Amino acid sequence: MIPDKIEAEEADLARHMGVFGATLDTFFLAEMGDKTQIAAVAMAAHYTSPLMVVIGTTLGMLIADVPAVFIVEKLAAKIPMKVVHSIAAAIFALLGAGTLGAGAKLGF
């Protein structure tokens, strides 16, 4: 197994841009083209008030993300990062297996 280099890259990014800038950059790159962005574009095209769509999508993301940030902040000191990586890897493996199984079922 190859050790993660992400933590060193995140620390370097945070040193140069600060925590806010590093988070902004990371979220922008991670969220480009995902289903929430596509839904926001569709809603902005459908409704005549793009500003209200921006406000609604921003508040929706905050409502979904803020509790997770605070919960993880409390648990971060208690759970080893290796356990977090192992759980994340298992979840991704299950999702991948489920996707492959669904594809096989559909004849792909």
Nearest to 61 by CA among 37, 97, 45: 37
10 and 22 Cβ atoms separated by less than 8 Å: yes
The residues near 31 (Cβ < 8 Å, ≥ 6 apart) are: 37
Q: What pLDDT does 95 receive?
A: 93
Taking only the tens place, the pLDDT of each residue in 65-95 is 899 889 988 888 888 888 888 999 999 999 9
100/3: higher pLDDT: 100
Note the pLDDT tens digit of each residue in 47-66. Answer: 989 899 999 999 998 999 89
Reported as a single tens digit per residue, the pLDDT across 11-40 is: 665 667 777 887 787 777 777 777 888 888
pTM of the model: 0.50
